[in-house]
DNA sequence: CTGAAAGCGCTTACAG
DNA sequence: CTGAAAGCGCTTACAG
């Protein structure tokens, strides 16, 4: 990490000009400014408070800041706890608002006084993470995966439990199982979809394109999917929702439509907080521990920044499948009144290994 | 805000010693250290990055850090949005972990590079807020009220709507209305309790000590209250829960007990996020907008810090009462099977003015 | 639009 | 345990 002095020498200007360029002083000419910033990028640059190193861990979004969402809140809780172990504070940064054109990400973070950053991203903006990694700035991406070895990330593996969840439905006698999800195209969501497809295939059930519903990741989206699903000529007897609030909205819509869950229709949800316990019936769901994601990311990052660790960090932590009360045996007749595929009379398959090891949850109303 | 130079002169030591004392260098003697810090408090002290002023707004807890809780997450969302308007970043600070003995709060915050702080507090630790106010450090306390004019705060006024909620239940024919709450003794919770008592009194209903239940502010706490309430010789026909998750837990316990809501028992909840829509039936509830609290606090604080505002800040924003589906007419016979007080046959009172103006919520499952 | 110089605020090796 | 001095990193009047 070099100073204005070094940058001035390299760029062939005075330190005065470097200071001005770094602080967006309008008096400096665009060409000079650009040259200085380019050099600053190459050398690395960061302000200090006296000689003290700042001890803030940054949290930044490559997309819109969604810090109030339950998932993000849980992640932040973990980040705060993890940073705490190394006596770091957590600062929420605004990449879109504050990053200057021409400024590198490294420069931006240094200027903000953070020696490392935890990133939230999505499909459209994940290239930002790659860029940050290429610049060599200490970082961890939460809840996303990258093939490039230089990007650090931590992610939940949801394919296995998605498979398990759908297989569980199959062992309960369901043959027409729908899949509901947001339009998100990140690896995590693709995994859930893959788990669904593979579970069908493993049991020899056909994959049916019109049983795949994409909608908003909100209660409204889930409610819409529920409406559409039961309106099919051959409605599903179970739906796996791979986004948390969609399952909640779907259950509420089922209540509104007089559809009994799980008697008429089974639902398996996805949860990254505790919302599954607020729903009635409590949701059988694939769950991810968002706090763990944040905690482990912060632990590694602070260790990296203090020099205690030099290892790269690519980590997958498992989801868990929790059986509550929203999924049950397939009904003999589907909610729409149409006969099921004629397989309802079949011998119900015994639960496969994975489903048998799932977490069995205690009585409703006792959990918090 | 003065520098090491000034403090050195005042304390009669060298700037070297000041620097060391400020940075907890073990070589400096306890007496010297104490003298230096005392002077630093008096003069005010804060490090800068070069000559640039730091633009972080602090968020600190006088108690345990509960940043992942839904209420706190919503507050933080608002704080982030509000700070954003003035191009400030938000940093989460750890008062318990990092504040040094002998260091004033002002010193602590200056050392952390924040010119202003947003505080979350509780009854046991609210004196910390008073202390910070007395030191004259820019601050806003979220969700608490103070009589001292020098403390800045923003709070929701929940008494009026608590009154309205209970009055609404009375107009629905309920005569035995219980009250469920956490053991919290802050003003906000006392207000909700007052609203409950006053509503009973206004309609000439007796206040009954054994219809007041205090328990944990969790689903488990609410479930316990539900169990206890229906076990009474004369069970209530309605319960007002003044803590969000308690109402949720109570509803789940009602389902488990086969008690129909609102047919057998009406519930009015309290919500500071969106959880009321996840519950079945969706909760009629007194609601507070946590995001607004955070947003307005951050707006004022950043204006204060940049010198754009000099006014003190004590603000109350209203809650709102939202009618959903968990409260209905009182049953003729109470859930326990015991006859109600013999008033069930009475003419049902017409809704009073306030209740009539309450927000009527759209169909369930459509909200997000 | 740029720089040499003044100068602030801080820390740290060195000396005692 | 303390300080005078060296010195770094930065910014800002002043001059051109």
**Residue B338: predicted pLDDT:** 40
Residues, CB < 7 Å to strand D: A 3-5, 15-16, 19-20, 22-23, 45-48; B 12-17, 20, 26-33, 49-52
Arithmetic mean of pLDDT, B242-255? 97
* Cβ-based contacts of A217 with chain B (< 8 Å): none
pLDDT, one tens digit per residue, over B17-28 is 988 887 777 788
Model confidence band, residue A169 (pLDDT cutoffs 50, 70, 90): very high
pLDDT at A349 over 90: no
CB atoms closer than 10 angstroms to residue A231? 9
Model confidence band, residue A1 (pLDDT cutoffs 50, 70, 90): low
The three-point CA angle A94-A100-A101 to 5° equals 130
Structure tokens at B128: 């910390």
Helix (H, G, I), strand (E, B) or coil at A168: helix
Question: Which residues in A152-248 belong to E strands, given as ranges?
Answer: 153-157, 177-181, 212-214, 238-241
Q: What are phi and psi of B199, to 5 degrees?
A: -65, -40
Arithmetic mean of pLDDT, B114-141? 90
pLDDT at B86 over 70: yes
Range in A206-215, B51-60, B333-342 with the lowest mean pLDDT: B333-342
pLDDT at B363 over 80: no
Comparing A37 with B232, the larger pLDDT belongs to B232
Q: Which of A19, A223, A255 sits opposite B280 (nearest CB)?
A: A255
Structure tokens at B75: 């507050």
Tell me the CA distances in angstroms from A204 to A208, A265, B35, one per residue in order: 12, 21, 79
Range in A147-161, A182-196, B2-16 with the lowest mean pLDDT: B2-16
Asked if the Cβ–Cβ distance from A72 to B73 is below 8 Å, we say yes
pLDDT at A351 over 50: no
User: What does the H/E/C string look like for chain B?
Assistant: CECHHHHHHHHCCCHHHHHHHHCCCCCCCHHHHHHHHHHHHHHCECCCECCECCCEEEEEECCCCCCCCHHHHHHHHHHHHHHHHCCCEEEEECHHHHCCCCCCHHHHHHHCCCCEEEEECCHHHHHHHHHHHHHCCCEEEECCCCCCCCCCEEEEECHHHHHHHHHHHHHCCCCCEEEEECCCCCHHHHHHHHHHHHHHHHCCCCCCHHHEEECCCCHHHHHHHHHHHHCCCCCCCEEEECCHHHHHHHHHHHHHHCCCCCCCCEEEEEECCCHHHCCCCCCEEEECCHHHHHHHHHHHHHHHHCCCCCCCCEEEEECEEEECCCCCCCCCECCCCCECCCCCCCCCCCCCHHHHCCEECCCCCCCC
**Residue A348: predicted pLDDT:** 35
pLDDT at B348 over 50: no
pLDDT at A7 over 90: no
Can you tell me which residue has the tokens 């200090």? A48
Task: List the nucleotides on chain C closer than 7 A to a protein CB.
Answer: 1-5, 8-13
Report d(CA B334, CA B229) in Å as an integer. Answer: 11
Q: For A282, which residue in chain B has the nearest alpha carbon?
A: B252
Model confidence band, residue A53 (pLDDT cutoffs 50, 70, 90): low
Mean pLDDT over each residue of chain B, to the nearest integer: 85
Model confidence band, residue A26 (pLDDT cutoffs 50, 70, 90): confident
Nucleotide nearest to A46 (CA to C1'): D9
Mean pLDDT over each residue of chain A, to the nearest integer: 85
**Residue A55: predicted pLDDT:** 75
* Cβ-based contacts of A219 with chain B (< 8 Å): 277-278, 365-368
**Residue B22: predicted pLDDT:** 77
* Contact (CB, 8 A) for B350 and B171: yes
pLDDT, one tens digit per residue, over B154-197 is 999 999 999 999 999 999 999 999 999 998 888 889 999 999 99
pLDDT, one tens digit per residue, over B148-158 is 999 999 999 99
pLDDT at B288 over 70: yes
Best of B58, B71, B73 to disrupt the A interface by mutation (most A CBs within 10 Å)?
A: B73
Model confidence band, residue B356 (pLDDT cutoffs 50, 70, 90): very low
Model confidence band, residue B343 (pLDDT cutoffs 50, 70, 90): very low
* Contact (CB, 8 A) for B277 and B367: yes
**Residue B27: predicted pLDDT:** 84
Range 79-108 of B in CB contact (< 8 A) with A: 80, 84, 87, 89-94, 97-98
Q: Which of A70, A92, A245 sits opposite B70 (nearest CB)?
A: A70
Structure tokens at B310: 């000099």
Comparing B145 with A1, the larger pLDDT belongs to B145
pLDDT at A4 over 90: no
Angle of helix A187-202 relative to helix A159-171, nearest 10 degrees? 30
For residue A165, give the nearest of A150, A151, A180 by alpha carbon.
A180
pLDDT, one tens digit per residue, over B38-53 is 787 677 666 555 545 5
A–B CB contacts, 8 A cutoff, strictly below: 176
pLDDT at A345 over 50: no
**Residue A344: predicted pLDDT:** 35
Range 23-62 of A in CB contact (< 8 A) with B: 23, 47-50, 52, 54, 56
Report d(CA B81, CA B87) in Å as an integer. Answer: 10
pLDDT at B292 over 90: yes
Tell me the CA distances in angstroms from B203 to A300, B175, B326, one per residue in order: 60, 10, 22
Arithmetic mean of pLDDT, A273-296? 96
B57 min Cα distance to partner chain A (Å) = 9
**Residue B44: predicted pLDDT:** 65
**Residue A2: predicted pLDDT:** 65
Model confidence band, residue B344 (pLDDT cutoffs 50, 70, 90): very low
* Contact (CB, 8 A) for B89 and A91: yes
Asked if the Cβ–Cβ distance from B73 to A78 is below 8 Å, we say no
pLDDT at A279 over 70: yes
**Residue A151: predicted pLDDT:** 96
pLDDT, one tens digit per residue, over B206-229 is 999 999 999 999 999 999 999 999
Model confidence band, residue B312 (pLDDT cutoffs 50, 70, 90): very high
Nucleotide nearest to B16 (CA to C1'): D3
Report d(CA B26, CA A77) in Å as an integer. Answer: 33
Model confidence band, residue A46 (pLDDT cutoffs 50, 70, 90): low
**Residue A54: predicted pLDDT:** 63
Asked if the Cβ–Cβ distance from B279 to A278 is below 8 Å, we say yes
Most confident of A206-215, B118-127, B307-316: A206-215
């Amino acid at each position: 990490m070099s100073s204005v002095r070094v940058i001035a020498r390299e760029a062939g200007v005075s330190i005065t000009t470097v200071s001005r360029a770094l602080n967006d002083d309008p008096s400096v000419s665009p060409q000079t400014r650009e040259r200085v910033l380019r050099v600053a990028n190459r050398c690395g640059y960061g302000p200090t408070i006296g000689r003290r190193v700042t001890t803030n861990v940054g949290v930044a979004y490559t997309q819109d800041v969604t810090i109030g969402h339950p998932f993000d809140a849980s992640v932040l809780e973990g980040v705060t706890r993890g940073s705490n172990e190394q006596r770091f504070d957590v600062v929420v940064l605004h990449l879109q608002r504050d990053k200057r054109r021409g400024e590198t990400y490294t420069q931006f973070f240094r200027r903000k006084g953070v020696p490392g950053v935890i990133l939230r991203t999505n499909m459209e903006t994940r290239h930002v993470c790659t860029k940050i990694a290429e610049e060599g700035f200490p970082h961890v991406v939460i809840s996303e995966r990258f093939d490039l070895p230089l990007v650090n990330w931590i992610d939940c593996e949801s394919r296995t439990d998605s498979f398990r969840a759908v297989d569980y439905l199959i062992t309960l006698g369901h043959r027409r199982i729908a899949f509901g999800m947001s339009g998100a195209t990140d690896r995590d969501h693709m995994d859930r979809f893959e788990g669904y497809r593979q579970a069908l295939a493993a049991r020899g059930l056909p994959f049916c394109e019109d049983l795949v519903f994409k909608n908003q990741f909100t209660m409204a989206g889930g409610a819409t999917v529920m409406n559409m699903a039961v309106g099919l000529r051959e409605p599903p007897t179970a739906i796996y929702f791979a986004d948390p609030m969609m399952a909640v909205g779907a259950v509420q819509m089922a209540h509104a439509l007089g559809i009994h869950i799980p008697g008429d229709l089974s639902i398996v949800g996805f949860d990254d907080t505790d919302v599954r316990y607020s729903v009635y019936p409590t949701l059988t769901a694939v769950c991810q521990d968002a706090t763990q994601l944040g905690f482990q990311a912060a632990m590694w990052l602070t260790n990296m920044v203090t020099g205690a660790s030099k290892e790269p960090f690519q980590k997958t932590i498992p989801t868990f499948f929790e059986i509550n009360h929203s999924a049950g045996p397939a009904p003999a007749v589907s909610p729409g009144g149409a006969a099921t595929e004629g397989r309802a009379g079949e011998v119900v398959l015994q639960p496969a290994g994975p489903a048998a090891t799932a977490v069995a949850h205690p009585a409703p109303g006792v959990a918090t």
